[in-house]
Structure 1
Amino acid sequence: MDFKRAHSEEQRAQRRRQILDVGAAMLTEMPVAKVTLNELSRRVGLAKSNVLRYFESREAVLLDLLDAETRQWLAELEQLLQPAEGTARERGDQLAAVVAGSLARRPVWCDLNSAQASVLDHNVTVEVAIKYKRASRETIESMAALFLRYLPELGTQDAFRLVATTLLLASAAWPYSNPPQAMLDAYAADPSVAAMRTDFTDLLTRSLAVTITGLLVRHDDAPVGAVALSPAHPSVS
């Protein structure tokens, strides 16, 4: 790839997009842990110092990719979550199944989301952190609105609680459902421990269904429509 120094903002944006495209392609081939700045620079065709002109660190690249993946997932989820009939419990179970199934089809998002708190939130400046958190707040509000539209019985505050729980459960379930080779070999060698291997879709579906049922039963929220979506909601990292 032939890179020349970018002089205009449009050229800089194009360079950033090219770097992100290469990073996205790498994530389809390898886990987040194996994506290095050296390899990214090599594939882009730039010296590492030149890549750092556009992104301050590997983590800054990955945070941008996580935001893009999240927005793509929400666009898909909006199409999947069409109005449905049934009791609140039935629609809650359907919501859990749809969300879990859609995330299972997005391994790159799952891997990035699982690495966010322990990896991606590190080695970035305050400016990058603020940029990502602002973008994240927008997607969280959009997700809560989707949940509330599909299951209005939740109420606004519980819709945000469900978003927080969804992100945390997905983050924890993904690495447990995708163990390293040593664990896979152990499951194959000893049938008595094979049952301990977890299935991501099943685990997330059941966990979200239980969470939704609990929120509906407790229902310590304000009446639907009484509170507008606003920044004053439970925080989600």
Structure 2
Amino acid sequence: MNSFTPYVRARSVEQKEERRRHLLATARAMLDDSPGALDLGINELARQAQMTKSNVYRYFESSEAVLIDVLVEEYSGWQAELGVALARDGKAEATVEDIAAVFAQTLGARPLLCRLTSIMPSILERKLSFERMVEFKRNLLALRHQAAQAFHARLPEISVDAFEEVIKYALPLIIGLWPLSNPIDVAAQVIALPELEGLRYDFQHDVERAVLTLMRGARC
């Protein structure tokens, strides 16, 4: 970020994209510094990005729109990692157990993706314009289709459409399981009590089991 020049107005497409990416990088840094935060303040984002608040609004309509773009980046990164992870075992064809394990492992390796997904319907989507929401949902559909194709390539007995259904129903799993697996403050202390062990969740383990169940159903 030190190489960024904050006071020169972006005029070219390249300069505007540089500003946008700078804001996204700044937002990521802020999220890393505050793991429990569920939102960003535009004022603080502008300050840390060395931009005025009005300039931030040239690129994003709200702080939620910034986080939505960070989330799209996270989904894109996750999708790109799937092919590598799926090919790593060297098998000619994967099993449903292999796919479920890779699904859960690659998700668990991206806590920011899971964190933002868990607040997507309740917080992030609340202040998006209709146009921005359509763009976001189209991105999600495209990424879901690409991930389904990657899974189908390793397990042809389950169709691309069926894998898309699996991923569709995995989304609410992430939304629910991530906060349950990562309780904060008093909830974390309470759930640590031995007599409440049965209420604890293990995100990666539970996602893997749930996705495996979904795939077995898709194969029927």
**Common fold: TM-score over 0.5:** yes
Out of 177, 181, 186, the position equivalent to 1:177 is 181
Q: Among residues 84, 88, 91, which one is paired with 1:84 in the alignment?
A: 91
Provide the C-alpha distance between the structure 2 equivalents of 1:64 and 1:104, rounded to a whole number of angstroms: 20
- What is the aligned counterpart of 1:109 among 93, 101, 113? 113
Residue matched to 2:70: 65
Identity %: 33
CA contact (8 A) 1:144 1:156 kept: yes
Of the candidates 203, 208, 211, which is equivalent to residue 206 of structure 2? Answer: 203
How big is the shift at 1:187?
A: 2.6
3-state SS in 2 of match to 1:118 = coil
**Deviations along 1:180-233, whole A, 9 cap, x unmatched?**
111111133x3101331111011101111111111112xxxxxxxxxxxxxxxx
* Structure 1 residue 104 displacement after superposition: 0.7
**Contact 1:32-1:112 within 8 A present in 2 as well:** no
TM-aligned CA deviation for residue 2 of structure 1: 4.1
Q: Deviation of residue 34 (structure 1)?
A: 4.1
Match of 2:168 in 1: 164
Gap regions ≥5 residues in structure 2: none
Contact in 1 for aligned 2:39/2:63 (Cα 8 Å): no
Structure 2 partner of 1:154: 158
Deviation at 1:126, TM superposition (A): 1.9
Q: What is the CA RMSD across the aligned residues, in angstroms?
A: 1.8
The amino acid that maps onto 1:46 is M
3-state DSSP of counterpart to 1:46: coil
1:93 equivalenced with 2:133 (yes/no)? no
Q: CA deviation at 1:22?
A: 0.5
Amino acid at match of 2:219: L
Aligned to 1:49: 54
Q: Who is 2:146 aligned against?
A: 142
**Helix, strand or coil for the counterpart of 1:108?**
helix
How far off is 1:172 after superposition?
Answer: 1.5
Give the superposition deviation at 1:85: 5.2
More deviation in 69-78 or 27-36? Answer: 27-36
Cα displacement (A) at 1:154: 1.3
Q: Quote the residue 2:43 is aligned against.
A: 38
Deviations 1:127-177 (A, max 9, x none): 211222222221111011012112211123211111102222122211110
Give SS of 1:33's match: coil
Whether 1:75 aligns to 2:80 is yes
